[in-house]
Amino acid sequence: MIKIALHSYIPQNYLDRADVDDAYMHFLVLDFKDGKNYAQEWAAKVVGKALSQRDRSDVVFVCIPASTHFQYVRRYERFSELVCEICGCVNGFPHIFVANDRMPSHVSKRERNRLNNVVMDADFFRGKKVIIFDDIITTGATANKMQEKLQECGANVIGALFLAKTFHPPKR
């Protein structure tokens, strides 16, 4: 699966090494994760523009669910709608449900914990081309797990797009 990140993200414990642009991106990504409207609109424009380079009318856009249904809805419901309006993808958001809360992957680090709380509408995804989206990629393990789950439903995952990739700047 092709994985593309649109920006770099510096984790909190490396912000002392960040320049102004990197620090700005850090807080912009965090505001997106918090579901703030201005950040969702910015991210939707960036992602929608990246996806509109080709006809995507036959592609389902799916966000990797957050660790709770509340966070999933807050972060991705409106964002998914905006992205799909911009690029013409089919919105996969209504076809995924977070059944119960789990620890966030970056806290748990346990592979078996990743996405074990997600329920997918297999009938909807069967035979569909899918692009996966997540806010930050560090190792790609969660995207790989999401790809597996979608393939079990019969989907064809054609790629993954990330708002940002974790970057650890060198010491100055």
Kindly report the CATH number assigned to the domain that includes residue 77: 3.40.50.2020
Q: Which residues contact 88 (CB under 8 A, 6 or more apart)?
A: 52, 55, 56, 57
Residue 93 located in a structural domain? yes
For residue 159, how many other CB atoms are within 10 A of its CB?
17
pLDDT digit string (tens) for 1-32?
999 999 999 999 999 988 999 999 999 999 99
- Nearest alpha carbon to residue 6 among 34, 36, 44, 41: 44
What pairs with residue 4 in β-bridges?
161
| Angle between helix 69-87 and helix 37-51 axes, rounded to 10 deg | 50
Q: pLDDT value at position 106? A: 52
CB 60 within 8 Å of CB 129: yes
CB 62 within 8 Å of CB 153: no
Residue 171 located in a structural domain? no
Chain position carrying tokens 């649109």: 6
- Give the range of the structural domain holding residue 107, as residue numbers without chain letter: 3-166
Number of domains in the chain: 1
In whole angstroms, what is the distance from residue 136 CA to residue 92 CA?
19
pTM metric for this prediction:
0.90
Q: pLDDT value at position 117? A: 85
pLDDT in tens, the chain (172 residues): 999 999 999 999 999 988 999 999 999 999 999 999 999 999 999 999 999 989 899 999 999 998 889 999 999 999 999 999 999 999 999 999 998 866 555 555 554 556 888 999 999 999 999 999 999 999 999 999 999 999 999 999 999 999 999 998 877 6
Residue 88 located in a structural domain? yes
Residue 172 located in a structural domain? no
